[in-house]
Every structure is written in C-alpha cells, then in structure tokens.
C-alpha cells in the first residue's frame, strides 16, 4: 500500500479518531508532496506500468540507480547475471577497486613496493598517473601504506563488480543524453533492417559476425568478406573489405578488440563501418574515403572476447592452453616478432602480458601476418583501435627510437586530435608508443612498421583516461564510434 501511494506522488498520514464505545480508529489520508511528478490515475495503470512507476517515484530517496535492484528490470544485477554471468565458473570482483596513483615515476622504491605488494595489475600509465587494480583483501592495507607516503591517489571505481554490471546494460531512450548531439540513436545507419547490433549495448561475437554478413548482403557491390584464419576455438577471423574496385586505391587495414576485455573498440569500429557503408551507398561519403580499399577486422580476439562476455569480464588474452602450467591465454599484442620477448612482455603463461612460447605462436597473429604481407605493395596505413587512454601512438614501442616517417606521423596525428576537438571537445595526447605507453615489445604496429613500412602506422587508444578504464558503460559507444570514423577520414585525406 505504501509503495502504491508513493507511486502516485502521495504520502499517507495517520489520524486517530474516537469510535463507537470509546474505540480508537486509525484513519488514512493522503497529501501531495511538492516536487513529485504527478502520475496517471491508479485505475489507468496496468500492473507493469504501476511497478515501473513505483520504482521511479522511489528513486528520489536514493542516490543510486534503484533499477539495479529491481529484479524485473533488464538493467538489474539479477537479470544481468541470469542472462550473461550465470555459470558457476564466473569470476567475481566484489570489493576490488581501481585506483589512480598521481605519480608516473615508476622507478621510485616506495611506488615499486606498493605495486608489488598491493597492486594486482597495472591497467594503464598515462600523463595523469598510474591506474592500478587493488584486490578487496588488500584495500585496507593499501590505504594504510599510502597514508604513510607522499603519494596521492583517487579511487576511480570503488567496486569493480558493480562497474562490470553496468557494462552489460542497454541504453533506453529515457537514458539518452538529450544535450549530446552525438547520442542520436535515430540515425539511419544505427537502424539497419535485420541487424542484431543496436549500439545501445555491447554485443556477443556472433552478433558482430551477423552484422558483417548483413553489410555484405546489403552492399554487395561494395563489400566482400575474407576469412583469413580461425582461432583455437574454431571461430572465424573475418575481414570485411569495402572498396569501389579501383586498382589504384591505397589499402587501409583496421583492426580492433585485440585485448579481450576491451569491448568499446569493436563496438566503435562496427559503428564506423555502418556509417561508412550507409553514406557510401547514399553518395554522401567523403570523397577521399571512397578512394580507399578498406579492410576491417573488428574482432582480432573473438575467443578471448566471448570468454570475457560470459566468464571473466577482465580477461585480456586469447584462449590458448599451456599444458605445463595449466594456464590459458597469450597476449596477442606481445606475440609479433618485432623485439619479441623483450621489455614489456612476460615469459610466464599465467600473466596477462604473456608473450607466447614463440613469436607468431597464435593462429590470430599468424593470420594477420599472412594477410598483411600479401598487401605489402599497396598498404597505405595500418590502424589498430583499442582501450584505453585517449592517446594516438606510433612506432616504436620497444624503445625510444625515431622512425624515418615520424614527422608525417606526428602531423597526421596532430590533425586527428584537432578534428576530435571539433567533433566533441575530446582531448587526446600523441607520441611514440614507448613514450606514451612504455615498453610494448612484440606489438603488431611495430611489426607492420618494420616489415611493410606503409605511410601510416597507428595505435589509437579510445576513451577514457581512467574513470572507467576497460569498463566503459555503453553510452560511450556512439561518441567513440564517431571518433573512429573521424580518424579514418583523416587517414584517407592524408594518404598520398
């Protein structure tokens, strides 16, 4: 009864009156509460509407989103875990936290001691500091240690499990930011007939595969799909080629999703593909973009991606099995043979930066190697999108060296950053991979630079700068998709 009255914007007041024979009767009367929006009359609401209205009216009592606790809501913790994370083997992160340490001098003894004893994994190092995961069991001790040092820090995520839940939610029309022109879900390339992708949430690997098939069927004169290999779990590695068929075109190879827990870059790249093909069909695509042979690999690591969807949200490697240790996975961006096994990679199969037993030990990296070498004579650019950090990097990643085309790389990266600012006021940094991200030996971009030498080689690390890290809520998909499209347009315009 109380919930129904609150749902109607009324608060019950109790009044005691004298009854027959001296008995005390308890009477209810309702008064309106200023500030509560009037809702439809009780008798015009069906049961579902009444249930939703009740939760909406109760929302003002709590600073948190009560829909997370509404077990009937698709956004609730209950429904998310029932649909995606219901297995007994699901890894949980209750009480784990993401901290940003406002320090970048990694050689400081006290900082190294802190990371060794309390930090389970460093997610990112950028100009703002170090993003590090603190396990629940270490939180109190880590806080005590920091109180004894001169370091400052912020807790960016105070419970990773809650943040993980938010990455499974779906953006409804009522959740849309009406003041953000980039958050427009009515755009025609977001409403393709027969496509499972909505860009309102993150989708499974099979939905991404179905999207590529739909693009092929819808734009048969522009598109074709090339299967360049299969993973250890027999998932196809499919490259979508979009071209006008002109043999004089430069080729641009674009990939995303090399790290399994990075869900944003595959979603953003598929958005850019959808926009490009739709505008191309309508004759509205930028002229420079229509004179490129585009090769898109939206999901480099489908096995790891799907494992992160269903079992371990923070999984980052592929699903190779190491019999000697019983551990799974190789970090694909440490498995290429340029400076393989040097600084920034691990020889331990149980670590996230594991380089593999040898260079190109994995079917995903071997497939990319074979396909890219076949494009050696006409590859104009290689671009790899990933998370996170809002930075554009170029070779080299193993040491602080300079490439012969660094001036051109810097000029184009600077132009892209200016375009991002005009687009949505996003602030990106730029620089060599080593300077921006520290050592990354065995990464794909450096291998492409060494063996193929196209005009442009970039890693673009999308949003954000550490507020959510790898756990970006889905309302960032559209904005990041526009940034991906803008970067690809910049590359097309700069190719000579």
Class of domain 97-158: alpha beta
Evaluate if residue 178 carries a pLDDT over 50: yes
Evaluate if residue 363 carries a pLDDT over 90: yes
Q: What is the structure's pLDDT at 105?
A: 80
Q: What is the structure's pLDDT at 186?
A: 87
Give the whole-angstrom CA distance, residue 185 versus residue 203: 16
Q: What is the structure's pLDDT at 266?
A: 98
Q: What is the structure's pLDDT at 82?
A: 67
pLDDT in tens, 199-235: 999 999 999 999 999 999 999 999 999 999 999 999 9
29 versus 429: the higher-pLDDT residue is 429
Give the whole-angstrom CA distance, residue 454 versus residue 451: 9
Domain boundaries defined on the chain? 97-158, 174-494
Instruction: Tell me which architecture the domain covering 174-494 has in CATH.
Output: 3-Layer(aba) Sandwich (3.40)
pLDDT in tens, 295-306: 999 999 999 999
Give the whole-angstrom CA distance, residue 214 versus residue 192: 9
268 versus 110: the higher-pLDDT residue is 268
pLDDT in tens, 369-398: 999 999 999 999 999 999 999 999 999 988
Give the least confident one: 54-58, 263-267, 307-311: 54-58
Q: pTM higher than 0.75 for the full model?
A: yes
- Strands 10-18, 223-230: parallel, antiparallel or unpaired by DSSP? unpaired
Q: What is the structure's pLDDT at 46?
A: 52
31 versus 247: the higher-pLDDT residue is 247
Evaluate if residue 408 carries a pLDDT over 80: yes
pLDDT in tens, 249-268: 999 999 999 999 999 999 99
Measured between its terminal Cα atoms, the distance across the chain in Å is: 72
């Amino acid at each position: 009864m109380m919930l129904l009255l609150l749902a109607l914007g009324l608060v019950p007041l109790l009044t005691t009156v004298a009854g027959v024979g001296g008995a005390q009767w308890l009477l209810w009367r309702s008064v309106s509460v200023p500030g509560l929006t009037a809702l439809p009359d009780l008798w015009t609401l069906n049961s579902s509407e009444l249930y939703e209205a009740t939760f909406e009216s109760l929302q003002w009592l709590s600073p948190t989103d009560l829909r997370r606790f509404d077990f009937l809501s698709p956004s609730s913790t209950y429904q998310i875990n029932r649909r995606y994370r219901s297995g007994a083997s699901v890894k949980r992160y209750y009480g784990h936290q993401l901290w940003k340490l406002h320090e970048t001098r990694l050689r400081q003894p006290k900082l190294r001691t802190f990371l060794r004893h309390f930090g389970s994994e460093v997610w990112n190092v950028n100009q703002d500091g170090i993003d590090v995961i603190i396990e629940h069991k270490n939180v109190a001790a880590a806080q005590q240690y920091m109180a004894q040092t001169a370091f400052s820090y912020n807790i960016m995520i105070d419970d990773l499990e809650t943040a993980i839940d938010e990455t499974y939610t779906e953006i409804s029309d009522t959740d849309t930011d009406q003041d953000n022109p980039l958050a427009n879900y009515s755009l025609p390339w977001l409403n393709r007939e027969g496509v499972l992708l909505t860009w309102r949430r993150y989708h499974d690997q099979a939905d991404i595969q179905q999207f590529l098939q739909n693009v092929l069927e819808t734009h048969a004169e522009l598109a074709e799909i090339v299967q360049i290999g299969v993973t250890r779990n027999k998932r196809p590695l499919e490259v979508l080629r979009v071209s006008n068929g002109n043999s004089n075109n430069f080729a641009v190879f674009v990939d995303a999703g090399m790290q399994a827990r990075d869900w944003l870059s595959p979603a953003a790249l598929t958005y850019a593909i959808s926009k490009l093909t739709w505008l191309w069909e309508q004759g509205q695509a930028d002229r420079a973009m229509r004179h490129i042979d585009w090769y898109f690999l939206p999901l480099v690591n489908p096995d790891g991606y799907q494992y992160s969807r269903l079992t371990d949200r923070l999984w980052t490697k592929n699903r190779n099995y190491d019999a000697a240790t019983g551990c799974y996975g190789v970090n694909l961006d440490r498995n290429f043979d340029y400076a393989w096994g040097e600084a920034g990679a691990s020889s331990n199969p149980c670590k996230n930066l594991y380089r593999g037993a040898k260079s190109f030990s994995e079917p995903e990296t071997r497939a990319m190697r074979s396909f890219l070498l076949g494009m050696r004579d006409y590859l104009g650019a290689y671009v790899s999108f990933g998370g996170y950090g809002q930075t554009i990097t170029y070779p080299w990643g193993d040491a602080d060296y300079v490439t012969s085309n660094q001036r051109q790389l810097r000029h184009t990266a600077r132009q892209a950053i200016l375009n991002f600012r005009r687009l949505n006021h996003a602030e990106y940094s730029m620089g060599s991979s080593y300077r921006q991200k520290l050592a990354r030996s065995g990464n794909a971009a450096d291998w492409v630079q060494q063996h193929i030498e196209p005009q442009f080689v970039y890693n673009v690390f999308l949003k954000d700068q550490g507020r959510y890290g790898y756990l970006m809520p889905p309302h960032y998909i559209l904005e990041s998709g526009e940034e991906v499209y803008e970067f690809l347009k910049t590359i097309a315009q700069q190719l000579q």
